[in-house]
Structure 1
Amino acid sequence: MATTVSDRPGYGQLLRTPGAWTFLLPGFAARQPFAMLTISIVLLVQHTTGSYGSAGAVAAVSGVSMALFAPQTGRLADRFGQRAVLLPGVLVHAASVGVLTALALAHAPMWALFLAAVPTGASIPQVGPMVRARWAARLGAAPGRAASPLMTTAAAFESVTDEFTFVIGPVIATALCTGVHPAAGLVAEGVLTLVGGIVFAAQRGTQPAPQDAATSAAPHRSALSVPGVRVLAITFLGIGSVFGGMQVALTAFSEEIGRPGVNGVLYGVFAAGNMLAGIACGAIAWKSGPRRRLIIGYLALTVTASGLWAVHSVVLLAGLGLLVGLCIAPALISGYTLVDALVPASARTEAFTWLTGAVALGQAAAVTVAGQLADAHGASTGFLVPLGGTLLALATLLTLRSRLAPRAEGRTVARGIGHREQVTVD
């Protein structure tokens, strides 16, 4: 049952939600490795093969695998409970990371690395969507009651948490790979995933009720059957292209100028901008709806990304990267906020994983393309990938924005659940 809170959308009130800290702290630890995985794969495989294109391709296979399997993980978590899905998942992931690391160090052929990357990506624990589903279970709409105004604050808080992990995750992974051993980043990722995932799974009191317990008679339909979720998934591909393109292009840029250690700093500045914008978004009592904020945020993201390829100075690139980061959080937060108005409670985890999977898929494609461009034409061309991805996603969003309207009252949607109150979006 959702917790009753006042109408002031503040972080203090959000964090006083009963039971919140029991899943926030272990959830933060469990999602930290996700920010380390891609860059750790890129740095290890580039070290063993000497090619950013090959490194990006292996990381891309992992990302595509995650994008394909993450929604199924979310659907199973909705149906059987998060703990039942998370525990076996972290065990498989830790083992897969170990195999991938061993193969890379043994200079195994590329097909073997691709093969090992599949279960590595498929088993990435979907802790972020699970935490968001726990917030929604406590703050979301219930029969006869509208969703808490703290839902937007919770979405912003989760974006800030995600981006904080992306501030420190790549920096930690880069430091381990360059200062300790090329495989140290992947090893640390596997260990943190295993330990953090087990501790998070132990917090059974705050996980949403499994669907079978609450709606056992409802037909099992995917959250992707909701048109708005499909539009958001396509839109989030563009955000993934920014993350993936920036990771590879910044790494190649740092190598090109002979200062590989600056890579983590540049990416950290980019992610810090995202985090700062997320903090601001959660502290503001917005008068405009999330759909409008999503469009405005994406327009700003596209404009700022358009100048990355032309910058060749570390200071200027850091400044522009900061601006790009500032534009990501409003788009992410608005998209996640829309989920509560579009999707029934019994399919929220799956819906969140579709969005997370879309980011991973966009990141995987961007890592591959940016790696190939950087190898063939220099680091600067890798920055064209975020621009291309955001342009395509923005065009889709503007064309299909009407599908982001909330579900009509009484309409049967994903998983056969309807009869939700209509929520004003714009």
Structure 2
Amino acid sequence: MASTVSDRPGYGQLLRTPGAWTFLLPGFAARQPFAMLTIGIVLLVQHTTGSYGSAGAVAAVSGVSMALFAPQTGKLADRFGQRAVLLPGVLVHAISVTALTALALADTPIWALFLAAVPTGASIPQIGPMVRARWAAVLGAAPGRAASPLMSTAAAFESVTDEFTFVIGPVIATALCTGVHPAAGLIAEGVLTLVGGLFFAAQRATQPTVRGAASPGSPRHASALSVPGVRVLAVAFLGIGAVFGGMQVSLTAFAEEIGSPGSNGVLYGIFAAGNMLAGIACGAIAWKTGPRRRLIAGYAALTLTASGLWAVHSVPLLAGLGLLVGLCIAPALISGYTLVEALVPASARTEAFTWLTGAVALGQAAAVTVAGQLADAHGASTGFLVPLVGTGLALITLLALRSRLVPSTSGRTVARGIGHRGPVTVD
């Protein structure tokens, strides 16, 4: 059950945090491309090859590459600073996107697109985790200072921001690809990444404290993945990725199937709008239940709503059901990120966030591949089975391993000396 909004600090108080806007605005611009990349690749490669399976496979390669490299990027950012990682990263990404676009337009073999997709995905800047780490640095516990009650509000705000990018990002990319040029979505993604990333990197005052290099055996460099709860959350977030990837490809195929390719952006925007609205509500409510229970409840609702997608063949009905699916995503995401705050110490926080972000990308990569193949072989409706299967498996994992999501309550050493935590209430 939840209490009234007044029981906890609100968004207004959060946004009055000194220095917040200096990283929020450039961070918003820099994270926008993350929501544009997959759909931009799918629309361009489908246009040049005529196959959703091939388009999904290329997008999947970029997603897998991101999932593999993102945690390493987070670990380097924790150790050497966000600026040191971002500056070369955004430059490599802009060059890689340009190469992928040129190769696709030149009708090169699919293997060449796969090769170009690897650095494209690997170099995606991890702006969302970096912004979350900045909030944690500003509001989190420190020697002589207790954690701010605004921490959970910040987690909700970041999820809302993420989902807002997934409302407008695919719509912008689709509009550019269908109304201007099939490559326009990817080109815009590369430009936004470069400009937004450079501006974000320039905000050095709010950058979390750089831990610096240490000896190879130093405990503070232990991976965040050594924490059992982070591993469980990473597996669960694969299901979120399955929803995003399955919805993107299946909605694109559905819109093409009914002869209205432009409706894809609207349908996906409605789905993402539900996600954003739920995120706003989650941040405004003072929850009496802990994040672990909310996480499991969110996945249960997500699995239930996703179960009807494959059977819907009407645009209004699909839009309505997509809205319901979107409403169930934000509670699961916010609860997962909130648990990370309690499970992982500050010295590994950016890396922990990137494991979750990478898991979403990996789930999305697998989903676009499978959904693309299903859409090619059996029609768009079968692609909607992917979100159902992905969330169902994630729910089973959470129920089976929910005991691993309990943070330390006795200040004990967590996972090979990764750090010490104070008492935290979970459920």
Where on the TM-score scale, by shorter chain, does this alignment land: which range?
over 0.9
1:72-87 correspondence to structure 2 within 5 Å: 72-87=72-87
1:45-124 correspondence to structure 2 within 5 Å: 45-124=45-124
Q: Distance in 2 between matches of 1:37 and 1:71?
A: 19
Contact 1:40/1:174 (8 A) holds in 2: yes
Q: Distance in 2 between matches of 1:80 and 1:414?
A: 23
Report the 3-state secondary structure (helix = DSSP H, G, I; strand = E; otherwise coil) of the residue aligned with 1:196. helix
Question: Can you list the C-alpha shifts for 1:178-223, whole angstroms capped at 9, x where unaligned?
Answer: 1111111111100110000000000000010012289996442100
Q: Distance in 2 between matches of 1:69 and 1:416?
A: 24
Q: Distance in 1 between matches of 2:273 and 2:164?
A: 7
Judging changes above 3 Å, is the alpha-carbon distance between structure 1 residues 174 and 251 closer, same or farther for their aligned structure 2 residues?
same
Question: Can you list the C-alpha shifts for 1:105-155, whole angstroms capped at 9, x where unaligned?
Answer: 000001100000000000000000000000111112234654322111111
Q: Distance in 2 between matches of 1:415 and 1:39?
A: 40
Contact 1:241/1:365 (8 A) holds in 2: yes
Q: Distance in 2 between matches of 1:407 and 1:365?
A: 33
Q: Distance in 2 between matches of 1:415 and 1:171?
A: 45
Q: Distance in 1 between matches of 2:426 and 2:272?
A: 28
1:239-388 correspondence to structure 2 within 5 Å: 239-388=240-389
Q: Distance in 2 between matches of 1:415 and 1:72?
A: 19
Q: Distance in 1 between matches of 2:187 and 2:399?
A: 42
Q: Does 1:126 align with 2:135?
A: no
Amino acid at match of 2:209: A
Amino acid at match of 1:293: R
Q: Distance in 1 between matches of 2:200 and 2:56?
A: 31
Report the 3-state secondary structure (helix = DSSP H, G, I; strand = E; otherwise coil) of the residue aligned with 2:230. helix
1:413 Cα deviation from its structure 2 partner = 2.9
Greater shift, 191-200 or 408-417, is seen at: 408-417
Greater shift, 142-151 or 127-136, is seen at: 142-151
Report the 3-state secondary structure (helix = DSSP H, G, I; strand = E; otherwise coil) of the residue aligned with 2:108. coil
Contact 1:146/1:421 (8 A) holds in 2: no
Judging changes above 3 Å, is the alpha-carbon distance between structure 1 residues 228 and 39 closer, same or farther for their aligned structure 2 residues?
same
1:417 Cα deviation from its structure 2 partner = 4.2
Q: Distance in 2 between matches of 1:278 and 1:309?
A: 25
1:408 Cα deviation from its structure 2 partner = 3.8
Consecutive unaligned residues in structure 2, runs of 5 or more? 1-5
Q: Distance in 2 between matches of 1:219 and 1:201?
A: 24
Q: Distance in 2 between matches of 1:219 and 1:136?
A: 17
Q: Distance in 2 between matches of 1:347 and 1:7?
A: 31
> TM-score by structure 2 length?
0.96
Report the 3-state secondary structure (helix = DSSP H, G, I; strand = E; otherwise coil) of the residue aligned with 1:416. coil
Amino acid at match of 1:273: G
Question: Can you list the C-alpha shifts for 1:370-423, whole angstroms capped at 9, x where unaligned?
Answer: 000000000000000000000000000000000000124332235834332120
Q: Does 1:201 align with 2:206?
A: no
Q: Distance in 2 between matches of 1:170 and 1:219?
A: 39
1:9 Cα deviation from its structure 2 partner = 2.3
Question: Can you list the C-alpha shifts for 1:27-80, whole angstroms capped at 9, x where unaligned?
Answer: 000000111000000000000000000000000000000000000000000000
Question: Can you list the C-alpha shifts for 1:320-341, whole angstroms capped at 9, x where unaligned?
Answer: 0000000000000000000110
Question: Can you list the C-alpha shifts for 1:295-342, whole angstroms capped at 9, x where unaligned?
Answer: 111110000000000000000000000000000000000000001100
The equivalent of 2:410 in structure 1 is 409
Q: Distance in 1 between matches of 2:131 and 2:381?
A: 37
1:8 Cα deviation from its structure 2 partner = 2.6
Q: Does 1:154 align with 2:154?
A: yes
Q: Distance in 2 between matches of 1:367 and 1:152?
A: 32
Contact 1:347/1:414 (8 A) holds in 2: no
Amino acid at match of 2:306: A
Contact 1:14/1:153 (8 A) holds in 2: yes
Report the 3-state secondary structure (helix = DSSP H, G, I; strand = E; otherwise coil) of the residue aligned with 1:117. helix
Amino acid at match of 1:85: V
Q: Distance in 2 between matches of 1:88 and 1:142?
A: 31
Amino acid at match of 1:79: R
Q: Distance in 2 between matches of 1:288 and 1:146?
A: 22
Q: Distance in 2 between matches of 1:412 and 1:347?
A: 14
Q: Distance in 2 between matches of 1:89 and 1:301?
A: 34
Amino acid at match of 2:303: T
Contact 2:36/2:185 (8 A) holds in 1: yes
Q: Distance in 1 between matches of 2:165 and 2:396?
A: 30
Contact 1:344/1:414 (8 A) holds in 2: no
> TM-score by structure 1 length?
0.96
Amino acid at match of 1:185: G
Q: Distance in 2 between matches of 1:370 and 1:322?
A: 20
Judging changes above 3 Å, is the alpha-carbon distance between structure 1 residues 345 and 214 closer, same or farther for their aligned structure 2 residues?
farther
The equivalent of 2:229 in structure 1 is 228
Q: Distance in 2 between matches of 1:239 and 1:203?
A: 31
The equivalent of 1:3 in structure 2 is none
Contact 2:30/2:127 (8 A) holds in 1: yes
Contact 1:139/1:151 (8 A) holds in 2: yes
Q: Percent identity?
A: 88
Amino acid at match of 2:43: L
Contact 2:227/2:414 (8 A) holds in 1: yes
Report the 3-state secondary structure (helix = DSSP H, G, I; strand = E; otherwise coil) of the residue aligned with 1:205. coil
Q: Distance in 1 between matches of 2:416 and 2:137?
A: 17
Consecutive unaligned residues in structure 1, runs of 5 or more? 1-5
Judging changes above 3 Å, is the alpha-carbon distance between structure 1 residues 215 and 130 closer, same or farther for their aligned structure 2 residues?
farther
